[in-house]
Amino acid sequence: MNSTLRLKTATAVVLTVALSAVLLPAAGASAAAGAEAGASASVDAATKQGFASLADAVLTKRTSALLDGPRPNAFAATPPSGPVSVASGLASAENGAVAGLLQRRARLAELKEAYTAAKVDVDVDSVRVTGARAKVRVTETTELTYKKIYGDEPPNTGFQAQHELTFTAAPGGTWQLTGITPLDQGGPSAINAPDSAVVDPGGVVADAAGQAAATTVPARPEAKISPAAGYNYGAMAKYAEKYWKNYNPSYRKFNDVGGDCTNFISQSLRAGGWKNDTGWYKSYKNWWYNSANQTTSWVNVNYWASFALYSKRTHNLSNVYYLGVGDILQMDFSGNGSKDHSMITTYRSSRGVPYLTYHSNNTYRKSVASIVAQNPRAKYYAFRT
């Protein structure tokens, strides 16, 4: 079954919502009387709305832990007296997740980064009922407002994340939220995601791997000097920020075949003046895209890096904080020598802090400070375009 429900929480005040309040009137939900015996449960429109409300409450609670202000209220496990509620085990797990997010907020505060408000939108993409379980897939779109600590921060950052929620039918026509699983793969997790190990897909390193960059804040920022090639860095950033969540229909997507991150930066670089380099599509020495095919270097993290260095269109920077608008940052999550993720710089503060925009998962203007703080074990490769 499909649903097009959409929820919006418009202000930071909503972020203190208690889960115990996210319950439907008794007449608004329906679960099969045979749920105890494993019969297939029925779900009506009001119950779907309850699923969406509870998803919104959980994701909003996580986000509230990152905001500059008081500690959010704890999750309250509600008894199965209301039609849609949260199971006690999940409530306990989410309280632990919030505690970890509070620590992340503290780490970001040490880096002079904070958020003052947030808006969380939840779209229900599908509802699938099998027996006494309902699998609900949702897309979260969250916008966070940067606190003006120095005054040169961008107005906001944002991301999209996909989740699958499991609801279990219980006696008396009730449903309980018993699990929530992230569906995004291939890139850094969202800033409000609980700490978890990033799965490294591995891969083959092409000929020119490049040199890893330092992640400590340098004593002096390094300004970007335009190269003789005359690329339009503003056009690269404008393109990336236009299509960070609403994909350009003129290009194919690669989310389901390894991730769309490198495809996205290739599009952005082309928008700023990078030209096709024709040749065999499997060679890292070539880079092109057309309506029928594309080179491996257009879509693969390692092959893009090899082409970029081999062609001398880029060179490595010694520090991630030297990135300027239009420059590329790649991550190797486990440090095994195979890069896993590509991002483009679309904003740089006057203090020299780069902000990255990327696909998989879709993210807008996330600071390099927060990326490094959330992924301290990764290796980083910075490319001056």
HSE of 302 in the Cβ direction (CA atoms, 13 Å)?
A: 18
Element (H, E) at 325: none
Rounded to whole angstroms, how far apart are CA atoms 245 and 255? 12
Confidence at 314, pLDDT banded by 50, 70, 90: very high
Which whole-number Å values give the CA distances from 46 to 1, 51, 125, 175, 353, in the listed order?
Answer: 14, 9, 16, 12, 46
Which whole-number Å values give the CA distances from 153 to 136, 157, 348, in the listed order?
Answer: 36, 10, 8
* Residue 223 reports pLDDT greater than 70: yes
Per-residue pLDDT tens over the stretch 5-48:
455 443 333 343 344 434 433 333 344 433 443 444 567 888 88
Per-residue pLDDT tens over the stretch 241-263:
999 999 999 999 999 888 999 99
* Residue 365 reports pLDDT greater than 90: yes
What is the per-residue pLDDT for 204? 56
Average pLDDT over residues 227-235: 84
Which of 20, 18, 21, 14 minimizes the C-alpha distance to 67?
A: 14
HSE of 176 in the Cβ direction (CA atoms, 13 Å)?
A: 17
Average pLDDT over residues 314-323: 96
Helix, strand, coil proportions of the chain in percent (round to 5)? 25, 25, 45
What is the per-residue pLDDT for 222? 84
HSE of 216 in the Cβ direction (CA atoms, 13 Å)?
A: 3
| Residue whose pair of structure tokens reads 């679960």 in the numeric block | 31
Which whole-number Å values give the CA distances from 151 to 154, 216, 354, 356, in the listed order?
Answer: 9, 22, 15, 18
Top pLDDT among 363 and 74 is at: 363
Please state whether the predicted TM-score (pTM) of the whole model is above 0.85.
yes
* Residue 311 reports pLDDT greater than 70: yes
Task: Give every CB contact of residue 106 below 8 A, 6+ residues apart in sequence.
Answer: none
The amino acid sitting at 282 is K
Contact between 341 and 358 (Cβ < 8 Å): yes
CB contact burial 187-201 (16+ within 10 A = b; e otherwise) = bbbbbbbbeeebeee
Rounded to whole angstroms, how far apart are CA atoms 74 and 80? 19
Contact between 304 and 262 (Cβ < 8 Å): yes
